Amino acid sequence: MRKRLILVLVIVAVFSGAFAKAKSLNFENPGNRRLLKSEAGNHWYYRSLPEKSLTLNVEGVSTIQLRSFALENLRKPKVYTIINKEKTAWDLSLNELQDGYYLYNELAIPIPDGTKSIEILCYDRSLYFRAFHTPKKAPNHKQPAKPANMVVKAHGGSTIISHNGTDSSYYVFNQSQSLKFTLNNGRNAIIYVRARLLDRSLPVFDLYMNGELLQSHEFTLRRTTKYTAVGVDHLTTGLKLELPPNSSTAEIELRAKSDHMFFARPVLQKKQ
């Protein structure tokens, strides 16, 4: 029973959504009117004034759905459209009898491009009409996905450097593989850099921004006793690099000039 109820609710929702898409059009010179209550909604239906046609503004409309009903069971009912002075006859076929109204199947009437108005003509005074159209869906211009504030594009691996029980992830770069990352959305960053000491030679690396050399940095032989990295016996003291302000997107690269292993940790700054 529960499944059947859910199925009925789904079907009703689908049909209600379909009807909700159609918008009614107003006649410019309607005559008498009658209210039709149906699953498609409650709408006034109109008949023309005696010996007159109903005029309908269809500017920007490609197709109309013409719905109709009669107060009596008519024999071979017809309706006529006059579009750009061309008169066309449309046969109406009975759909159902509802609350004393004889409901006819909906007519889909194409409207030529550039047409501003049409006329609906019916000689039988028992027939009432209402026109609808389904508006074209506005194009869904999705905003492009916002890129991540920082995207690391290349590195030579990663390692953990510990300090006072706190672990931080650092990216490795050397002469074989530089560290490259992109700053997006106008974000800025600082970079913490350390190097592994093997002998008396000094570690040297270059900092590039958008392909241009900003700075060259040279470490001393001073070693840290507070920071440790797995597999590294002698780690230099750290350098803190502050990058120039970034207004949009910046490509950052760290290149090793000397034959040392370097460790870098870029950190985003809070947006001002």
- Domain assignment present for residue 13? The answer is no
Same domain, 41 and 107: yes
Torsion of CA 25, 31, 32, 37, to 10 degrees: -10
Same domain, 158 and 128: no
How many domains does the chain divide into?
Answer: 2
Residue 125 lies in domain: 23-133
pLDDT value of position 22: 82
pLDDT value of position 217: 97
- Domain assignment present for residue 18? The answer is no
The domain that contains 229 carries what CATH number? 2.60.120
Same domain, 230 and 258: yes
For the entire predicted model, the pTM comes to 0.52
Among 100, 133, 166, where does a domain finish?
A: 133
pLDDT value of position 12: 42
Ranges of residues in the chain whose predicted pLDDT is under 50? 1-20
- Domain assignment present for residue 62? The answer is yes
pLDDT value of position 41: 82
Locate 43 and state its tokens: 């709408």
- Domain assignment present for residue 139? The answer is no
Place of tokens 């003291």: 237
- Domain assignment present for residue 16? The answer is no
Q: Tell me: the pLDDT tens digits for 49-90?
A: 888 999 999 999 999 999 999 999 999 999 999 999 999 999
pLDDT value of position 15: 42
Q: How many alpha carbons lie under 13 Å from residue 46 in its C-beta half-sphere?
A: 21
